[in-house]
Amino acid sequence: MNLVDKMKDFMADKVAEMPKPEASVTDVDLKDVSRTGISYMAIIAVKNPYIVSIPICDVHYVLKSATRIIASGKIPDPGSLKGNDTTTLEVHVEVPHSVLVSLIKDITGDWDIDYDLEIKLVVDLPLIGNVTIPVNQKGEMKLPTWRDMFMSEKE
């Protein structure tokens, strides 16, 4: 093995050992009911281990229910992660009413949607470049009741 290969291996090992930002979903809740669909908001807590802020390039999300994609999207340039702190991000997910109709079997049993939320945060680490931080959350989202829908219309 020559010197260049040894340097590459050394650098790869050092980069692998570096702490990276960590993220977790802290909440997924109903946000709004409209004529076009239902909005949910996922709250993501991202811990930045570095003293400098780190820019977030993109946030990609996919919301699945019964192994089917019911919503997906991308939030470009959502800001930065505060240095040596935890930053809270809001990910707004729009689910059209037409998609909910296709999930009627799941909904009629308990008036909720069993979901699998996959979020990928793409951050720009200095000297390393773009790094993707995956965050997954599984759970149940309650659907709005008739009362929720009429209360939303009055506001």
Query: pLDDT by residue (tens digit) across 48-78?
Result: 998 999 999 999 999 998 788 989 999 988 9
> DSSP state, 50?
S
**81 touches 54 (CB < 8 A):** yes
**Residue 1 binned pLDDT confidence (cut-offs 50, 70, 90):** low
pLDDT at 113: 76
pLDDT in tens, 75-131: 988 999 999 999 999 999 988 877 767 666 556 666 677 889 999 999 988 777 888
Q: What is the pLDDT of residues 15-34, one digit of tens each?
A: 667 788 899 999 988 888 78
CA distances from 130 to 14, 28, 75, 125 (A): 17, 27, 16, 6
Residue 37 burial by CB count (10 A; 0-12/13-18/19+): exposed, middle or buried? middle
Structural domains in the chain plus CATH codes: 19-143 (2.60.40.1820)
pLDDT value, residue 117 = 93
pLDDT at 34: 82
Q: Determine the pLDDT at residue 148.
A: 59
Asked whether the beta carbons of 95 and 63 are under 8 A apart, the reply is: yes
List the strands of the sheet with 22-33, edge to edge: 22-33, 37-47, 86-96
pLDDT interval class at 154 (50, 70, 90): very low
